[in-house]
Amino acid sequence: MSTVPNTHATTEIRLIGADDFARVVGPAAEVYGAAMQRAGDLVAQRRDIMAGHVDRRGFLAAVAMAGDSLTGFGYGYHGRSGEWWHDVVAAALGREAARTWLSDAFELAELHVDPDHQGTGIGRQLLGAVLGSASGETVVLSTHDRESVARSLYRSVGFVDLLRDFCFPGSGEVYAVLGLQLRA
CA nearest to 128, candidates 156, 88, 92:
156
| Strand-strand pairing, 105-113 and 69-78 | antiparallel
CA nearest to 49, candidates 149, 137, 170:
170
% of the chain with per-residue pLDDT over 90: 87
Banded model confidence at residue 9, pLDDT cuts 50, 70, 90: low
Give the tens place of pLDDT for each residue, 121-144.
999 999 999 999 999 999 999 999
Cα–Cα distance measured from residue 85 to residue 169, given in angstroms and rounded to the nearest whole number: 10
Domain count, the chain: 1
- When pLDDT is averaged across residues 19-29 and rounded to a whole number, the result is 96
Q: CATH number of the domain at 89, please.
A: 3.40.630.30
Give the tens place of pLDDT for each residue, 69-124.
999 999 999 999 999 999 999 999 999 999 999 999 999 999 999 999 999 999 99
Range of the domain at 101: 2-181
Cα–Cα distance measured from residue 103 to residue 98, given in angstroms and rounded to the nearest whole number: 7
Helix (H, G, I), strand (E, B) or coil at 18: helix
Report pLDDT for 40. 86
pTM metric for this prediction: 0.91
